Amino acid sequence: MTVDSIRDRFLIAPAKFLGENPTKLNPLANVRVCEEWFLMELLDPILAPDKSVALSYERFNQLMLACGRSIASERFYSYFFKNVATIETFEDAVENFRVKAMWLFGNFKFAYKKLAARDLAAARFDALVGKTEARSDVEFTKRDAFQDIESIPEQDLSFLGYVSGDRLNDLDFAVATLKLLLEHWSECDTFLDRLGSAKQQKLSDVLAIEQFRFPSHSSAGVDEKQVSEALSRIEPELRERRARQKKAQDIGRKNTQRYLTLPDLDVYVATSMRSDEDYAAQSKFVRHVFENPAVRDLKLRYFDPTASYDDDRIKKGLIECLMLRRARVTLYNAGAEDTMGKDSELAATLAQGKPVIVYIQSEPRFVEIPGRGKIDMDRRAGTFSAKHPLGLQISTKTGVAHGIIVVRTIEQCARMLRKVLLHELEFSVEHEGGNFKLEEKETKSVLRVVTDDPLLSHSFWAYFRHTEPEPDI
Amino acid sequence: MEGSVPRVEHDEAVRMYALHLLSIGYEVHARIDGWFQAPDYIYGYRPDIVARRGNEWLVVEIMKGDTDWPKISALERIERERADYKVVIASPQDVKMRRWAGANDR
């Protein structure tokens, strides 16, 4: 490596540091406010013939002034550049700053302005950069084990669902109708006529699930004995299912009160639970993630929506909104289909400036969805990683665009959950298609972006900072 | 939460009452998802059942517990103000015993 090539690399790094896309011939052309000869003069004492780099506090600030930036505080210099001795350590220091700038502010210029400001209190500087530094796990491990939530037998979990609940309600209605029909058998035609064609069709559909054929229109083929026999078969089964439902719902109601008063909540688990199979799959997913050795010692407090119940759907929605707001991170079990519920939860978490880990199973690769055919989960993962419109959302408080972490296995999910909570994620800053991307190294997930587009960037921050959201509904 | 009727018991009574009214020729709106259109609000509250036969309107509320009174009070107001409205407040037990207050004619 020649002294000239070190000089080139040295000039490229400050351009990146200041949020510029460096040009080949003159990397600092867009930011330099001094003449070219002076910049070269400044570099002479910094870049020694032995290829070492001597970047003192004074030289660093001269370089910043020559690039039209304000003077940095000594604390800022010490934190990022004090140990610079070679071009490699200088580039690492710049990369370290860029990662923190994207993480905290989503903007390199603003990050420098904020973090390097000489009137920024030391405690505030430490608090800001501290948000990006690895945390001790003691805060988690010293807690008691999380045993507050009572489990519900897996085969009864679906009884907490409104879809499954509606199925039982429909069957209840069908049983009540058959009973009334038997009470007034002599007026069967009148009764069915008054019931109406739509209700009789539905009655027929509901009873078909219970293996009883009831005409979907007219009274033709309705037999009193058969109706009576069907009723004496279906009613006890319904009672038994209702009893199991009641037991599961009672536990779910108690769990809701426990969740509402939990002092800490680490993880919100977002998923959709439409079918009975969804409940079982979600329950397994939750168990496998939180029992994984990668997170087991953290004794994580997590909200599992399959273990909570309220009779009222509005209250259930509010409970979930509160849990989402309280949790530090959302775990999103993508499944094979998008649904408004869990997609909203994903977007709301990002809009609150909090991380989302999206799990898309890798095995089996293809999942059959009735009416839609086979869904390719690899393709779905690709969509989430690169194309999903909800993949990036701005934090409504800071304006920083937050992205999702896409994982493909339970083990990876648990590992990333630990890294997110303990701030152990490792990043690189990449440039592609006119955007800087803060990419998580293991999953290649993009968690922050900064656009090169000067008008978009300027308008975004100008309007974001200086206009209030619309006050009207 | 004291003195409240379990949801399942309440809903069963609503179903039975609505089906009874249907069987004796009423046009029924009831809070039974998927089977009936829901009744409109009356003075800010949605009754369990509103049924009509000719010019006669029947408003049925199945009791849930101590917290019912503001709703019952609002529903009873319509009976005072409209001669063609009758309000029935029934307990799940009444329905189980087939005591169809106000709607026992066929």
Rounded CA gap, B12 and B16, in Å?
6
Quick check: bond before A364 cis, omega within 30?
yes
Q: Is B25 on the interface with A (CB under 8 A)?
A: yes
Judge if A241 and A267 occupy the same domain. Answer: no
> Does the distance separating the beta carbons of B25 and A180 come in below 8 Å?
no
Return the residue in A164, A166, A169 with the most chain B beta carbons within 10 A, the one to mutate for interface testing: A169
Rounded CA gap, A136 and A62, in Å?
38
pLDDT greater than 50 at residue B2: no
pLDDT of the residue at A354: 95
User: What structural domains does chain B harbor?
Assistant: 7-96 (3.40.1350.10)
What is the average per-residue pLDDT within B69-85? 93
Pick the last residue of a domain from A216, A248, A280. Answer: A248
- ∠ CA A182-A184-A189 to the nearest 5 degrees? 100
Q: Is B11 on the interface with A (CB under 8 A)?
A: yes
Judge if A84 and A210 occupy the same domain. Answer: no
Q: Is B7 on the interface with A (CB under 8 A)?
A: yes
Q: How far is B76 from chain A (nearest CA, A)?
A: 25
Q: Is A195 on the interface with B (CB under 8 A)?
A: yes
Whole-Å CA distances, A283 to A152, A277, A296, A473? 10, 10, 17, 38
Among candidates A166, A194, A311 on the partner chain, residue whose Cβ is nearest the Cβ of B22: A194
Residue recorded with tokens 């390097």: A116
Tokens representing residue A450 in the block: 């900064």
Judge if A25 and A116 occupy the same domain. Answer: yes
Residue A253 lies in a domain: no
What is the average per-residue pLDDT within B34-56? 95
CB A85 within 8 A of CB A73: no
pLDDT of the residue at B1: 43
Rounded CA gap, A244 and A250, in Å?
10
pLDDT greater than 90 at residue A23: no
> Does the distance separating the beta carbons of B20 and A180 come in below 8 Å?
yes
CB A337 within 8 A of CB A377: no
Q: How far is CA A99 from the centre of its chain?
A: 20
pLDDT of the residue at A369: 83
Instruction: Dump strand ranges (E) for chain B.
Output: 27-30, 49-53, 56-62, 85-90
Q: How far is A195 from chain B (nearest CA, A)?
A: 7
Residue A255 lies in a domain: no
Residue A320 lies in a domain: yes
Pick the last residue of a domain from A248, A278, A294. Answer: A248
Rounded CA gap, A268 and A357, in Å?
10
Per DSSP bridges, beta strands B56-62 and A356-359 are unpaired
Which B residues in the span 48-77 are in contact with A, Cβ-Cβ below 8 Å?
A: none
Q: Which domain holds residue A20?
A: 3-130
Min mean pLDDT across A16-20, A158-162, A206-210 is at: A158-162
Rounded CA gap, A260 and A321, in Å?
11
Rounded CA gap, B86 and B95, in Å?
17
> Does the distance separating the beta carbons of A199 and B23 come in below 8 Å?
no
DSSP A152: -
Judge if A12 and A73 occupy the same domain. Answer: yes
Return the residue in B12, B17, B19, B24 with the most chain A beta carbons within 10 A, the one to mutate for interface testing: B19
Judge if A11 and A91 occupy the same domain. Answer: yes
pLDDT of the residue at A468: 67
Residue recorded with tokens 């009540």: A176
Tokens representing residue B78 in the block: 């319509």
Judge if A312 and A430 occupy the same domain. Answer: yes
> How many beta-carbon pairs below 8 A join chains A and B?
37
pLDDT of the residue at A473: 66
Judge if A296 and A323 occupy the same domain. Answer: yes
- Scored b (16 or more CB within 10 A) or e, A437-469 reads bbbbeebebbbbbbbeeeeeeeebbeeeeeeee
Residue A156 lies in a domain: no
Residue A150 lies in a domain: no
Top-confidence residue, A24 or B103 = A24
Q: What are phi and psi of A373, to 5 degrees?
A: 80, -155
Which A residues in the span 282-311 are in contact with B, Cβ-Cβ below 8 Å?
A: 311
Residue A472 lies in a domain: no
Q: How far is A207 from chain B (nearest CA, A)?
A: 14
pLDDT of the residue at A298: 98
Question: In B, which residues are within 8 Å of A176 by CB distance?
Answer: 12, 15-16, 19
Domain count, chain A: 3
Judge if A428 and A283 occupy the same domain. Answer: yes
What is the average per-residue pLDDT within A121-134? 95
Of B21, B33, B98, B44, which is closest to residue A170 (Cα–Cα)? B33
> Does the distance separating the beta carbons of B23 and A180 come in below 8 Å?
yes
Residue recorded with tokens 């089996």: A364
> Does the distance separating the beta carbons of A172 and B25 come in below 8 Å?
no
Q: Is B20 on the interface with A (CB under 8 A)?
A: yes
* Tens-digit pLDDT profile for residues A363-386: 999 988 888 889 999 999 988 887
pLDDT of the residue at A309: 93
Mean pLDDT value across chain A: 91
Residues in contact with A357: Cβ distance below 8 Å, sequence separation at least 6, in sequence order:
A329, A330, A331, A332, A404, A405, A407, A413, A416, A417, A420
Residue A308 lies in a domain: yes
Return the residue in B15, B27, B36 with the most chain A beta carbons within 10 A, the one to mutate for interface testing: B15
- Scored b (16 or more CB within 10 A) or e, A246-261 reads eebbebbeebbeebee
Judge if A234 and A290 occupy the same domain. Answer: no
Judge if A351 and A214 occupy the same domain. Answer: no
pLDDT of the residue at A238: 95
CATH number, domain containing residue A440: 3.40.50.450
Residue A68: which region, alpha, beta or left (left: phi > 0; alpha: psi -120 to 50)? left
Residue A141 lies in a domain: no
Confidence of residue A390 (pLDDT cuts 50, 70, 90): low
pLDDT greater than 90 at residue A27: no
Question: In A, which residues are within 8 Å of B23 by CB distance?
Answer: 180, 184, 191, 194
Judge if A455 and A310 occupy the same domain. Answer: yes
Of A365, A370, A347, A367, which is closest to residue A409 (Cα–Cα)? A365
pLDDT of the residue at A320: 93
* Tens-digit pLDDT profile for residues A77-108: 999 999 999 999 999 999 999 999 999 999 99
Rounded CA gap, A334 and A324, in Å?
16
Q: Is A184 on the interface with B (CB under 8 A)?
A: yes
Among candidates B8, B25, B34 on the partner chain, residue whose Cβ is nearest the Cβ of A246: B8
Q: Is A337 on the interface with B (CB under 8 A)?
A: no
- The SS3 of residue B86 is strand
- B12: nearest CA in chain A? A172
Judge if A382 and A290 occupy the same domain. Answer: yes
Radius of gyration (Cα) for chain A, nearest Å? 31
pLDDT greater than 60 at residue B106: no
How many Cα neighbours within 13 Å face the side chain of A13? 23
ipTM: 0.88
Helix residue ranges per DSSP H, A133-187: 138-141, 162-183
**DSSP assignments along A413-470, one per residue:** HHHHHHHHHTT---EEEEEETTEEEEEETTT--EEEEEE--HHHHHHHHHHHHH-PPP
Question: In B, which residues are within 8 Å of A242 by CB distance?
Answer: 8
CB A114 within 8 A of CB A105: yes
Pick the last residue of a domain from A248, A270, A287. Answer: A248
Which of the given ranges, A183-192, A426-435, B28-37, has the highest pLDDT on average?
Answer: B28-37
